[in-house]
Amino acid sequence: MSSGRLESECTGQLALMDAMVFFAVALAVCSATLGYLDDGAADADRSQRARADPSAVLEVFMSCSLGSPVSLDGLVSVELTGREKVCECILAEAWALESGADIGRFSDLNSVIMGALRSICAPGYVPHLVVYVLDEASEGPLMAIEDHPAQAPDRRAASTVLAGPDGGVLLVSLVLEPASSGQL
């Protein structure tokens, strides 16, 4: 009878196959662990950036002053000193637009508002301010400064409600969109 190492028996290869299966399972476990921890590391930026939080930005933005004087030309010329609060200006502009005023009349005011918003937001974000009238008759936003936000997947938004003098309600939404490389 020949020795075991010389015998052409395939059952001895089962141990090698089991070892290979064990190695493959170890690799799979290691890959799953490292993948999970890598995802956690990507989300582990614990520094809180208030200027990237739309609700914090919207809260201080609505209560801050315009900062620079603006003149609104039209049928009635209006001079803003720069001490007016942004929420008051948005409210006045919204009700003027509701009354049929031309939005071009408020282009300077909107530029100042958007400049203030860009200053408050974190540099890596593009802000969009959209105003809706909360009633059943309105369809779509009343105005968007400066343009409507794109359908970016990782945009963040916050909103607040402004009450007008005649009982109407405005919904002001702030959308922070991550800036593309060309917008930085």
Contact partners, residue 66, CB within 8 Å, separation at least 6: 80, 82, 83, 84, 85, 86, 89, 109, 112, 113, 116
CA distance 144 to 163: 18
Given the rule CB under 8 A, which of 20-28, 98-106, 125-133, 152-160 is the region that contacts other proteins? 20-28
CA distance 121 to 89: 19
How near is the Cβ of 84 to other proteins at its closest, in Å?
Answer: 9
Please report whether residue 77 would count as binding other proteins according to CB under 8 A.
Answer: no
By beta-carbon proximity to other proteins, the closer residue of 59 and 98 is 59
By beta-carbon proximity to other proteins, the closer residue of 52 and 103 is 52
Please report whether residue 68 would count as binding other proteins according to CB under 8 A.
Answer: yes
CA distance 5 to 2: 8
- Which among 130, 147, 137, 143 is positioned nearest to 168, based on CA atoms? 137
Per-residue x/- track, 37-56, other proteins (CB under 8 A):
x--xx--x-xxxxxx----x
Given the rule CB under 8 A, which of 80-88, 128-136, 139-147, 176-184 is the region that contacts other proteins? 80-88
Given the rule CB under 8 A, which of 6-14, 71-79, 139-147, 172-180 is the region that contacts other proteins? 6-14
Q: Are 122 and 77 in contact (CB under 8 A)?
A: no
Total residues at interface with other proteins (CB under 8 A)? 50
Given the rule CB under 8 A, which of 33-41, 69-77, 128-136, 172-180 is the region that contacts other proteins? 33-41
CA distance 2 to 13: 18
CA distance 90 to 62: 9
Instruction: Give the torsion through C-alpha atoms of 128, 132, 138, 141, to 10 deg.
Output: 0
Q: Which residues bind other proteins (CB under 8 A)?
A: 3-5, 7, 9-16, 18-20, 22-23, 25-27, 29-30, 33-34, 37, 40-41, 44, 46-51, 56-57, 59-61, 63-65, 67-68, 82-83, 85, 116, 119-120
